[in-house]
């Protein structure tokens, strides 16, 4: 099962790159074509299928942008470690209570005070197509991880 | 001259928000619609016309993306200060040797070893349309600065 092994390695590699960075900047496309970004608390969750998960409010502006255009980028920056990660993919909203309970972390109460009972609570599922990263070893040129 | 004063205040406010953050993540649109980001060394230069400047290689992939689609986002993240800035605008390449000499900083030699003599050296001019920022005072909701 070469494909599976490769995929596992890719997921693990990307997980290690972002694991100590608390927030990512999610960039979405507005209906006039302009690009907007906003901070997202990172639960550092990439599953075996190459999906990155975030909690969001289902009523947020970014969600309406994603409903118009699924293309997103999530960037992670650690200036101290000179590590920068760009994740390109498509995003979709998911209101799966079971999955939310599985992924929930107590720190999220800072943004969602009612926890899992918050009515507009939802998940943002980013299907990763490609990740590029720059760190102190790679200098000016990025390393690329492609996802199938 | 109310407009001028407002503009000056907007520029100053944005300059203060990013002045101690060394790198921004520049997001561009690929010809297949996917979004990619890369780190850019910040010279912290926003001029009175609301333009943000970066040095780049004229032959880089991001430049060819910008030639196809001028829409860009630049995000600045400071986890320590819980400050996140999103700058939306359009970008264009400029090969103005005089402007480059004016904006050049010695730290840039890390990426452009030949300094101002590097043949493919160019400027990326981001015409700012809107900036959104989140900091410890604004909690979950962003503050917006619109540029005319």
Pairwise CB contact (< 8 Å): A25 & B86: yes
Q: What residue segments make up the domains of chain B, in order of their start?
A: 2-146
Rg (CA), chain B: 15
**pLDDT for A8:** 85
CB atoms within 10 A of CB B123: 22
In angstroms, what CA-CA distances link A12 with A47, A98, A135?
9, 24, 17
- Give B81-140 pLDDT, tens digit per residue: 889 999 999 999 999 999 999 999 999 999 999 999 999 999 999 999 999 999 877 656
Distant-in-sequence, close-in-space partners of A118: CB < 8 Å, separation ≥ 6: A57, A112
Give residue A3's pLDDT: 37
Of chain B residues 115-144, which have a CB less than 8 A from chain A?
A: 129-130, 132, 134, 140, 142
Average pLDDT of every residue of chain A: 91
| Percent residues over pLDDT 90 in chain B | 78
Quote the strand ranges of A1-148, DSSP E.
23-29, 35-41, 51-57, 71-78, 83-94, 121-134, 143-146
pLDDT confidence band for B1 (50 / 70 / 90): very low
Residue range B2-146 forms a domain whose CATH class is: mainly beta
Of B35, B79, B88, Cβ closest to residue A34? B88
Do the bridges between strand B35-41 and strand B23-29 make them parallel or antiparallel, or are there none, so unpaired? Answer: antiparallel
State pLDDT tens for residues A38-92. 999 999 889 989 999 999 999 999 999 999 999 999 999 998 888 999 999 999 9
Are B15 and A119 a contacting pair, CB within 8 Å?
A: no
**How confident is the model over B26-41, as a mean pLDDT?**
97
Q: What is the pLDDT of residue A4?
A: 38
A41 and A54 Cβ atoms separated by less than 8 Å: yes
- pLDDT bracket for residue A5 (50, 70, 90): very low
Average pLDDT, chain B: 91
Q: Which helix (H) or strand (E) holds B53?
A: strand B51-57
In the prediction, which pLDDT does B4 show?
39
- Interface touch A38/B71, C-beta < 8 Å: no
pLDDT at position B136, please? 76
């Amino acid at each position: 099962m070469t494909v599976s092994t490769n995929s596992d390695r890719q997921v693990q590699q990307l997980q290690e790159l972002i694991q100590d960075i608390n927030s990512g900047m999610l960039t979405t496309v507005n209906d006039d074509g302009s690009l907007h970004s906003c901070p997202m608390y990172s639960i550092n969750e990439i599953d075996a299928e190459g999906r990155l998960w975030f909690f969001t409010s289902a009523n947020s502006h970014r969600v309406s942008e994603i409903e118009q255009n699924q293309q997103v980028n999530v960037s992670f920056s650690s200036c101290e470690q000179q590590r920068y990660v760009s994740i390109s993919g498509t995003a979709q909203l998911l209101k799966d209570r079971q999955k939310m309970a599985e992924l929930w972390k107590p720190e999220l109460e800072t943004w969602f005070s009612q926890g899992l009972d918050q009515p507009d609570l939802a998940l943002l599922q980013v299907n990763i197509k490609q990740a590029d990263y720059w760190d102190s070893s790679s200098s000016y040129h990025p390393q690329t991880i492609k996802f199938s």
